[in-house]
Amino acid sequence: MALKASELEVGGTHTAVLVKDLKRTQLVQYAGASGDYNPLHTDDFYTREVAGYPSVFAHGMLTMGMTGAMLTDYVGDGRLLKFGVRFTAQVWPGDDLEATATVEALREEGGEKLVDLKVSTRNQNGDEVLSGYAVARVDP
Amino acid sequence: MALKASELEVGGTHTAVLVKDLKRTQLVQYAGASGDYNPLHTDDFYTREVAGYPSVFAHGMLTMGMTGAMLTDYVGDGRLLKFGVRFTAQVWPGDDLEATATVEALREEGGEKLVDLKVSTRNQNGDEVLSGYAVARVDP
């Protein structure tokens, strides 16, 4: 399951579908799992009438969590060392999300092989909703 | 609910308990919510007998998600612009976690007031399990 440095090259990419037709139920599930019960993610009445948004929207951390699952699927278990993102647009119920990791560098640090990845998650319109980077350990 | 720049000073901190006695059930909930069904987080037999760990352990992204919930509770909705972490130790069932955000700087960029935060999450032994940074918008 673990990624090998010999399987990677700078510029190589890995893309995965994170979700098709995101459901409000997944936002409720994420609220329960994370403890983030902000009503903007689960209460359409509050979100539209009080807060003035067109509908509930996904926790940024849910988008980050799904993108993180793509990364750990790709690099292997327990190998993700760093992960940082910028939240660039909101994610709405009904959205499809796809994430791409691009190999930016292969390097060694403290006797370990590391890969630097650029990360981008986009919706069905091609709009980027999250951009970031990750660093993971890889086998020789 | 939104944080004001006038309420902040460099060196000020905000601390919150993320979880007391983390349950295996929460790992199952997080797997369902995020789509990250790696058995290392939910299957004790596999994790001990096949993978050689002492027990299942939390998704790093769950620790990050709970820490992110602390940040959005603190800074207010839709104000978290960037969040990056380093995963420094594993989180096990039964752990208590507490996270602290420390104000590192207050600044303006593109006409917006921003706060730079240092973020640290520790377990009941004082071991840091996650360290990172965040950038959020604040009101004047």
pLDDT at A4 over 70: yes
- Beta carbons of B85 and A85 less than 8 Å apart: no
Q: How close A28 gets to chain B, by Cα (Å)?
A: 8
User: B106: buried, middle or exposed (CB in 10 Å: 19+, 13-18, 0-12)?
Assistant: middle
Averaged pLDDT for residues B92-118: 96
Higher-pLDDT residue of B121, B78? B121
pLDDT above 70: percentage of residues in chain A: 99
Which residue in chain B is spatially nearest to A90 when comparing CA positions?
Answer: B78
Sort out which chain B residues have CB atoms less than 8 A from A33's CB and list them. 26, 29-30, 32-34, 62, 65
Per-residue pLDDT, B1:
58
Of A40, A78, A87, the CB nearest to B80: A87
Which CATH fold topology does A5-22+58-138 show?
A: Thiol Ester Dehydrase; Chain A (3.10.129)
- Please give the model's pTM, rounded to 2 decimal places: 0.92
Instruction: Note the pLDDT tens digit of each residue in A35-90.
Output: 889 999 999 999 999 999 999 999 999 999 999 999 999 998 778 999 999 999 99
Encode chain B in three state secondary structure. CCCEHHHCCCCCEEEEEEECCCCHHHHHHHHHHHCCCCHHHCCHHHHHHHCCCCCCCCCHHHHHHHHHHHHHHHHCCCCEEEEEEEECCCCCCCCCEEEEEEEEEEEEECCEEEEEEEEEEEECCCCEEEEEEEEEEEEC
DSSP H or E run through A68: helix A60-75
Which residue in chain A is spatially nearest to B129 when comparing CA positions?
Answer: A81
pLDDT tier for residue B13 given thresholds of 50, 70 and 90 = very high
Per-residue pLDDT, B62:
95
Q: How close A72 gets to chain B, by Cα (Å)?
A: 9
Which residue in chain A is spatially nearest to B130 when comparing CA positions?
Answer: A82
- Beta carbons of B34 and A85 less than 8 Å apart: no
Q: What ipTM is given for this predicted complex?
A: 0.90
CB A22 within 8 A of CB A95: yes
* DSSP designation for A8: -
pLDDT at B3 over 90: no
pLDDT tier for residue B77 given thresholds of 50, 70 and 90 = confident
Residues, chain A: 140
Per-residue pLDDT, A35:
87
- Beta carbons of A65 and B18 less than 8 Å apart: no
Sequence ranges of the domains in chain A = 5-22+58-138
Instruction: Note the pLDDT tens digit of each residue in A112-123.
Output: 999 999 999 999
CB B66 within 8 A of CB A37: no
Per-residue pLDDT, B5:
84
pLDDT at B22 over 70: yes
Tell me how far CA of residue B74 lies from CA of A43, A81, A91, B117, in angstroms.
20, 26, 22, 11
